[in-house]
Structure 1
Amino acid sequence: MPQIADLIIRNARVLTMDADTPRAEAVAVAGNSILAVGSSNEITTLAGPSTRVIDAKGATVLPGFNEAHMHIFPGSVSLRQLNLHGIQGFDALKQAILGYAAANPDEPLLMGFSADYSIIGLGEPVTRQHLDAILADRPFMMFAPDHHTAWANTAALKQAGLLNGKDVGIGNEVVMGADGLASGELREGNAFGPVAALASTGGREELGMVTGMDPENVTPEQYALDRAILKNGLEYCASWGVTSIQNFDGNHYQLRIMRDLEQSGELPCRIRIPFHMKNFMDLSEIDKAAEWKKEFSTDMLRGDFVKVFMDGVLDSQTAFMLDGYGDRPDYDYEPLFTEQAFNAIATKADALGLQVAVHAIGSAAIRQTLDGYESALKANGRQDNRHRIEHIEIIHPDDIPRFAELGVVASMQPVHYPGGTCFPAEPTTAKIGEDRWAYAYAWRTMKDAGAPVVFASDWPVSPVSPFQCIQDAMTRKPWKDGLPDQRFTLEESLEAYTAIGAWVEFMEDRKGKLKPGYLADIAILSTDIESVAPDTIMDTVRAAITICDGRITHQA
């Protein structure tokens, strides 16, 4: 007698991501697993008196989205902050900040995010004086979209002890003004961390990014606040059809909160959290990552890889570049790790069976990372650790084939493309330099060269919506005629958000596809995504129902 399904989804356009059975009409779920995929007639026979039946009404059904690069704690906190995306000009910024301040009279540090580098005007850097002219009597700080630069007013700088400047370590900077005081611009986590610590969260959301360390002396009230913030953020991700998250900042504190949510049945997404290796840490610290891999090893929660920052970002000119910047050819910046230090990290982590994922945006940072992975390969032989490079915004053509040669994953975010739906083309294109445009944000070039390409949003750097990322992947317009066409098809984009994401995290044997025996992680969309014009996907398509581990985690 066939097993009875707990849940059936029928009348669907099922995209399974399984090459053996790419399309179907219905899906049956039993417990937390896919029971069967097939025609409506076949699946209907698996229904019993207590089976829940969902009519998809002709909409797309596919594996739940795998968010392969995001920052869950800062993203979750951002849901409480001032969203400055799309705000341009001093007057619009003033109106937004004052409205937010009035609505949050008790917040010790007012914070905004997604403030464009040219929010005051193209070529006019934000200063504390700009912010003081808007709000002088309460501490305020706002982040650039990339979360690598922030700007604070004088009140915030004074309270954080930064107004007179401070040495904040290699790759970080409290930018000084001509008057000998801090200008208000804070580059990288060590610089803006002291300001973030003034917030009601105590800056705990930034520790996984800035230090990789746990917060000290967390009270029960603070823990409860952080747990509630993270639960809300995870539920927000689930509302977009996300069932798996590969997080890109981390500490043991976040893992403990996630385990608390898992054990109480409140974890709506699967999540893996890295050990964040910083340049001030001793090499022996990587042993902790191996311990985390054993301690957190369920299908819902894992702590099983190492995250490294090699450089910063293009717009603040903290990316490590070969042959300088387009608008500053004599300036390369510097890596956050020496060649020898990173080679040692890559080699040790690889020997321990740990995946390494490196933030590398500039061409020199990408090369140095590839060199480190090659060093590990020579030392340890070929392992199947699927090491990654995150972002890859400008690459030297000589390094493109090395991804396939070394087996390195290209983790890219089409929504980051300057001139797409999220970010303006300038000033980024000028910083890249026109002679290098062909090798910037080159996801099609990477895929055609044999690199496994996985997509993600990098939330809260850009919106968590997979549909916005997919639209940008499919509709990218070149900055000038003659540049390579970097577009993906819809099928390729969906695969990069599902099956390839599962492969990248070593779970291709049980998720990323709608296939009997696989985990029941499913997104039922609001419509048939294949019938939607590519340039309208982000405004047209939503997740109607999200199912993770056989449990409905979102229903519109």
Structure 2
Amino acid sequence: MIFDLLIKNAIIFPESELKDIYIKSGKFDQIEPSGKKTSYPALSILNLREKTLIPAFTDAHTHFFQWSLGRIQVSLEQVESYDDALNKISAYLSLNPDTPAVIATDFDQYRWIKPILPSKKDLDKISTSCPIVMRRICGHLAVFNSPALKKIENLVDKRFIDFKEGIVVEDPVLKIYNYFPPSPEMINQALQSAQQECFRQGISAVGEITSSLGRKIIARASHQHQLKVKFRLSVNQQDFKNLQQGGFYPSLGDDPVSLRALKIFLDGSIGGKTAAVSFVYKDAPASARRGILLMEQNELGELLKSALNDHWKIWIHAIGDRAIDLILSSAKKLHLKNTENIRIEHFELPSPEAIDQVADMGIQLCVQPNFINNWSFPGQLYQQVLPDEIYRFNNPLKEILNRKCNFCFGSDNMPVNPFYGIQGTVNSPLPVQRLSLTEAIKRYTFHSARCLGDTNRGKIIPGFQADIAVLNQFPDENNLLQIEVEQMYIDGEKVYDPYGES
């Protein structure tokens, strides 16, 4: 037999022995100790000279489409103050006076010198003719100027809009590009740039949460071979009902793009103080001291029954303990079967009892270790807005592991950088959040792939798809933010090699 690719002298994390890896038809075929006197013929040979391999990451929770567009317009992720954010928006508009709208993304007021929520008044000072939107990093809250509000006022549920302050929450924010559609040229540039960033971070597959517009664009680009990242897509409630009426069912094959899940939103975010909780946020307005629930139990129960009966996976956004408990009580009340097809997204503020129930029911969890780095260290967001006893039990990944819950990792694009998230849990200030490095990498590779329904990805063993990242150094607890991906393979094909030919 002639193999397609032989990778020689590789160190497969977490082992230290050198291995030779034979790849055929996009899969790992044989893995043997390096240094054997005889080797099998291969069409291509890569000598890694003792460099480290890991399985490519699967980011199980992304908003790839929105993130891709935000990257090429106005990203506020790195700005240090409100004034800097406004100046960056103004500068972009000055350089692009004919732009139909400015969507400035990923601001986080809790990282600013003075945490202040943007205002419609200040955005109107920049322009009263061009729509401007500042979207918070959580994706659940945005501030619109007057032209932007006018654009959407008859298109969305007005319950989500504060016209006086320009604050918009939840559904309209998640569908922002439906109301302010980008040009085809912008879309193509955005998708290619975002895919390269995925490769740079060692990501081969994502669980994508987007609008119907995003799904169509991703599917078309993949069909035209413009995208090589694998996409496992979800649909919102309205699209789900339309698909059901049309007789469509989820696809579970290994196609580059497949429809996997119904996405349900039960609450908002901690940063927006809209995550549904049983306690009172610090300094929260009287109207939202315990966040908001976006759905009643009866409606949730009907959706769960309907989707599970048609073999859909269900991804449910639930950050606060009230939202988490609503899922668990609904499943228990309805005596639901196939609860392993239910996946709770985020699970940031569970009670110990909720963790036990999740383990008993076999419900999956998709958690974000990068949130620990972003907001869980002393003085950061969680400590600013949560009561002390709640803060000390946020994102309790070690407890989730100890109680044998089925969980995986995703980034929620905050940021798209698996090693940043892994560094958060490995070096967490709270023991309840701390995982070993080996365990954290497994949760971002094999377990994330499995949570998306891909049972033959995420390990470097015979029979699995050959998705791998070549690293510049062997990972340890101290070097995670210095690690770079030097090469990337998907299905045995090289897709990224910044120092050679890609």
Same-fold status (TM-score > 0.5):
yes
What is the letter of the counterpart of residue 309 of structure 1? F
- For residues 332 and 242 of structure 2, the distance between their equivalents in structure 1, rounded to whole angstroms, comes to 22
Name the CA shift for 1:23/1:410 in 2 (closer, same or farther; >3 Å). farther
Instruction: Tell me, yes or no, if the aligned pair for 1:237 and 1:464 is still in contact at 8 Å.
Output: yes
Q: Secondary structure at the match of 1:62?
A: strand
Instruction: Tell me, yes or no, if the aligned pair for 1:289 and 1:306 is still in contact at 8 Å.
Output: no
The residue aligned with 2:160 is 173
Give per-residue Cα distances to partners, 1:286-332, cap 9 Å, x unaligned. 626972424x7434221022111111111222111113334459732
- For residues 371 and 487 of structure 2, the distance between their equivalents in structure 1, rounded to whole angstroms, comes to 27
How far the C-alpha of 1:555 sits from its partner, in A, is 1.1
Q: How do 1:10-89 residues align onto structure 2 when only pairs under 5 Å count? A: 10-15=8-13, 25-42=19-36, 45-48=39-42, 51-89=43-81
Q: Secondary structure at the match of 1:57?
A: strand
How far the C-alpha of 1:496 sits from its partner, in A, is 0.4
How far the C-alpha of 1:411 sits from its partner, in A, is 0.9
What is the letter of the counterpart of residue 97 of structure 2? P
- Report whether the alignment pairs 1:184 with 2:166: yes
The residue aligned with 1:537 is 480
- For residues 511 and 24 of structure 1, the distance between their equivalents in structure 2, rounded to whole angstroms, comes to 22
How far the C-alpha of 1:259 sits from its partner, in A, is 4.2
The residue aligned with 2:367 is 412
Instruction: Tell me, yes or no, if the aligned pair for 1:343 and 1:371 is still in contact at 8 Å.
Output: no
The residue aligned with 1:7 is 5
- For residues 316 and 289 of structure 1, the distance between their equivalents in structure 2, rounded to whole angstroms, comes to 37
The residue aligned with 1:344 is 302
Q: Secondary structure at the match of 2:53?
A: strand
Q: How do 1:37-436 residues align onto structure 2 when only pairs under 5 Å count? A: 37-42=31-36, 45-48=39-42, 51-118=43-110, 122=114, 124-135=116-127, 138-158=130-150, 160=151, 162=153, 168-169=156-157, 173-176=160-163, 182-190=164-172, 196=177, 199-201=180-182, 226=187, 229-251=190-212, 254-277=214-237, 284-285=241-242, 287=244, 291-294=248-251, 297-328=253-284, 331-375=289-333, 378-379=335-336, 381=337, 383=338, 385-417=340-372, 425-436=379-390
Give per-residue Cα distances to partners, 1:108-127, cap 9 Å, x unaligned. 11221121134776453321
- For residues 472 and 249 of structure 2, the distance between their equivalents in structure 1, rounded to whole angstroms, comes to 38
Question: 1:468 aligned to 408, 416, 420, which one?
Answer: 420
Name the CA shift for 1:173/1:437 in 2 (closer, same or farther; >3 Å). same
The residue aligned with 2:474 is 528
How far the C-alpha of 1:260 sits from its partner, in A, is 3.7
Q: Secondary structure at the match of 1:398?
A: helix
- For residues 189 and 152 of structure 2, the distance between their equivalents in structure 1, rounded to whole angstroms, comes to 30
Q: Secondary structure at the match of 2:166?
A: strand
What is the letter of the counterpart of residue 405 of structure 2? A
The residue aligned with 1:512 is 458
How far the C-alpha of 1:495 sits from its partner, in A, is 0.1
Instruction: Tell me, yes or no, if the aligned pair for 1:418 and 1:424 is still in contact at 8 Å.
Output: no
How far the C-alpha of 1:552 sits from its partner, in A, is 1.1
What is the letter of the counterpart of residue 443 of structure 2? A
Q: Secondary structure at the match of 2:360?
A: helix
Name the CA shift for 1:174/1:289 in 2 (closer, same or farther; >3 Å). same
- For residues 52 and 121 of structure 1, the distance between their equivalents in structure 2, rounded to whole angstroms, comes to 53
Greater strand share, structure number: 2
Instruction: Tell me, yes or no, if the aligned pair for 1:420 and 1:472 is still in contact at 8 Å.
Output: no
How far the C-alpha of 1:492 sits from its partner, in A, is 0.6
- For residues 258 and 419 of structure 1, the distance between their equivalents in structure 2, rounded to whole angstroms, comes to 29
Q: Secondary structure at the match of 1:334?
A: coil
- For residues 188 and 55 of structure 2, the distance between their equivalents in structure 1, rounded to whole angstroms, comes to 27
What is the letter of the counterpart of residue 459 of structure 2? K
Give per-residue Cα distances to partners, 1:119-168, cap 9 Å, x unaligned. 7764533212233345555432211110111122334334x265xxx895
How far the C-alpha of 1:550 sits from its partner, in A, is 1.7
- For residues 224 and 506 of structure 1, the distance between their equivalents in structure 2, rounded to whole angstroms, comes to 33
What is the letter of the counterpart of residue 12 of structure 1? A
How far the C-alpha of 1:424 sits from its partner, in A, is 8.5
What is the letter of the counterpart of residue 368 of structure 2? Q
Instruction: Tell me, yes or no, if the aligned pair for 2:20 and 2:33 is still in contact at 8 Å.
Output: yes
- For residues 174 and 230 of structure 2, the distance between their equivalents in structure 1, rounded to whole angstroms, comes to 30
The residue aligned with 1:457 is 411
Q: Secondary structure at the match of 2:227?
A: coil
Percent identity between the two aligned chains: 21
How far the C-alpha of 1:537 sits from its partner, in A, is 1.4
Q: Secondary structure at the match of 2:399?
A: helix
Q: Secondary structure at the match of 1:95?
A: helix
Q: Secondary structure at the match of 2:165?
A: strand
Q: Secondary structure at the match of 1:56?
A: strand
Name the CA shift for 1:257/1:535 in 2 (closer, same or farther; >3 Å). same
Give per-residue Cα distances to partners, 1:339-386, cap 9 Å, x unaligned. 01111111222222221110101110011112233345x24x4x3743
TM-score, structure 1 normalization:
0.81
- For residues 196 and 183 of structure 1, the distance between their equivalents in structure 2, rounded to whole angstroms, comes to 21
For the aligned residue pairs, the C-alpha RMSD in angstroms reads 3.0
- For residues 174 and 446 of structure 2, the distance between their equivalents in structure 1, rounded to whole angstroms, comes to 37
- For residues 329 and 113 of structure 1, the distance between their equivalents in structure 2, rounded to whole angstroms, comes to 24
Instruction: Tell me, yes or no, if the aligned pair for 1:27 and 1:43 is still in contact at 8 Å.
Output: no
What is the letter of the counterpart of residue 154 of structure 1? S
- For residues 44 and 85 of structure 1, the distance between their equivalents in structure 2, rounded to whole angstroms, comes to 52
- For residues 55 and 246 of structure 2, the distance between their equivalents in structure 1, rounded to whole angstroms, comes to 29
How far the C-alpha of 1:83 sits from its partner, in A, is 1.6
What is the letter of the counterpart of residue 358 of structure 2? F
- Report whether the alignment pairs 1:487 with 2:485: no
Name the CA shift for 1:63/1:341 in 2 (closer, same or farther; >3 Å). same
What is the letter of the counterpart of residue 174 of structure 1? I
Name the CA shift for 1:11/1:106 in 2 (closer, same or farther; >3 Å). farther
- For residues 477 and 289 of structure 1, the distance between their equivalents in structure 2, rounded to whole angstroms, comes to 50
Unaligned runs of 5+ in 2: none
Q: Secondary structure at the match of 1:313?
A: coil
Q: Secondary structure at the match of 1:400?
A: helix
- For residues 228 and 372 of structure 1, the distance between their equivalents in structure 2, rounded to whole angstroms, comes to 43
Give per-residue Cα distances to partners, 1:43-67, cap 9 Å, x unaligned. 971234xx32223232220111111
- For residues 44 and 155 of structure 2, the distance between their equivalents in structure 1, rounded to whole angstroms, comes to 60
How far the C-alpha of 1:103 sits from its partner, in A, is 3.3
How far the C-alpha of 1:258 sits from its partner, in A, is 4.0
Q: Secondary structure at the match of 2:142?
A: strand
What is the letter of the counterpart of residue 432 of structure 1? L
Q: Secondary structure at the match of 1:390?
A: strand
What is the letter of the counterpart of residue 20 of structure 2? A
- For residues 59 and 278 of structure 2, the distance between their equivalents in structure 1, rounded to whole angstroms, comes to 30
- For residues 505 and 290 of structure 1, the distance between their equivalents in structure 2, rounded to whole angstroms, comes to 22
Instruction: Tell me, yes or no, if the aligned pair for 2:140 and 2:173 is still in contact at 8 Å.
Output: no
Give per-residue Cα distances to partners, 1:156-189, cap 9 Å, x unaligned. 334x265xxx89548x52224xxxxx21222223
How far the C-alpha of 1:435 sits from its partner, in A, is 2.1
The residue aligned with 1:214 is none
